[in-house]
Amino acid sequence: MSKKRKQYSPQFKAKIAIEAIQGQKTTPEISSQYEIHPTMINTWKRQLLENASELFDKGKRASKAQSDTEAQINELYRQIGQLKVERGFFSQALRTAGSDTRKSLVDAQHHALSVVRQCQLLGVSRSSLYYQPIDPSDEEMTLLKLIDQQYLRTPFYGSRRMKAYLQTQGYTVNRKRVQRLMRQLGLQAIYPKPKLSESHPEHQIYPYLLRGVDIVSVNQVWSTDITYLPIFRGHFYLVAIMDWFSRKVLSWRVSNTMDVYFCLAALEEALNKYPIPEIFNSDQGAQFTAHVFTDCLKQAKVSISMDGRGRCHDNIFIERLWRSVKWELIYLKAFEDGQHLSQEVKSWFHWYNRQRPHQSLGYKTPDEIYYQCDSPM
């Protein structure tokens, strides 16, 4: 039976090779001391000498590889930080966009992002992607029109009184339905109460600057507001910008969604066509507190004023404009679609500015007052 060959560890081989290289002992002495064959000692010594240079080269390569790895990690951290900043920027911009705009950005065929993740990033409900709106019934449209008309006569009516009024007109409705319809119209009973106007929680609210201020010239104060316009099969929203002193409507826009962009378009048109006002007043609605809207005013160096909560008469002039629009146009005609509505609104505002006399203006038109008065310095 053959004797099993003895195995030596790498540490032992290195130790023997180093002693042989030091030259303090002869090869036979090392062989006798450790009971190993001289040939093995010579072999280990040769291998150590031949491979010593590779150890230093390997160290350099390892150092370079470590340096490259650290550079890659630093670059990845830089890219992560940049992506976080960019994501924060786009997230803030998307918050001001309407839900329809955000839903239109969802790509069901995206190869990397699921629909669920896209909805999370865009801040929309996944179920809303599949919702198919149902046209309101004839009864629903009639109720909306009756509520809107009665509100102009009695703006202090809440849902309880409005329900009672509708029941006198022969409609069996409960208070919850009336509340829903009034919310759809954007109507609330006018009387001082807390939280009358809900603003966006992340938008800045500006103070009301017009308390005790005498309005003595054109372009001293502009104001804006949004109202609801019913048509045969649905509704639209109207925003207008008015000069307080002359009551002139400077610009307006009609939209089928109540987002910031149609309000911004009206503001930019007014700022481009007319002298810059000193103060711009609005309510605390999310459209008017949006960053893109207030930034436009700041760039024009306009002081921003916002109605206080529970202050139902802070923007009374434009509220009177809505009453005139509805009683003198909207309730007298049937509109087929948004294009027809926009054409009629354009004609009405043209007539309002140039031909409609105002009792408060000494029976002069808004254009007569606006253009005969000097703008403030």
Q: What is the pLDDT tens value at each position of the chain, 377 positions in all?
A: 555 667 888 888 888 888 877 766 777 777 888 888 878 888 887 787 777 766 666 655 666 667 777 888 888 888 887 777 767 666 666 666 777 778 788 888 888 788 888 888 777 888 877 877 777 788 888 898 899 888 888 877 888 888 989 998 999 999 999 999 888 887 877 654 434 345 555 667 888 888 888 888 999 999 999 888 877 666 788 999 999 999 999 999 988 877 888 899 999 999 999 999 999 999 888 888 888 999 999 999 999 998 765 444 556 788 888 888 888 888 778 777 778 888 999 999 999 999 888 888 888 899 999 988 754 43
Domain 221-372 classification at class level: alpha beta
Q: Give the contacts of 40 (CB within 8 A, at least 6 positions apart).
A: 16
What pLDDT, on a 0 to 100 scale, did the predictor assign at position 81? 78
- pTM: predicted TM-score of the whole model, two decimal places: 0.52
Residue 270: count of CB within 10 angstroms of its CB: 22
Rounded Cα distance, 340 and 348, in Å: 12
The sign one gets for the Cα dihedral 17, 19, 24, 26 is negative
Q: Which helix (H) or strand (E) covers residue 25, if one does? A: none
Helix pair angle (27-34, 10-22), 10° resolution: 150
Residue 110 neighbours by CB under 8 Å, 6+ apart = 118
Predicted pLDDT of residue 313: 53
Dist CA 104 CA 257 (whole Å): 14
Residue 195 has what pLDDT?
Answer: 40
Q: Chain centroid to CA 321: how far?
A: 30
CA 58 to each of CA 61, 64, 69: distance values in angstroms, whole numbers, following the listed order: 5, 10, 16
What dihedral do alpha carbons 55, 58, 60, 62 form, nearest 10°? -130
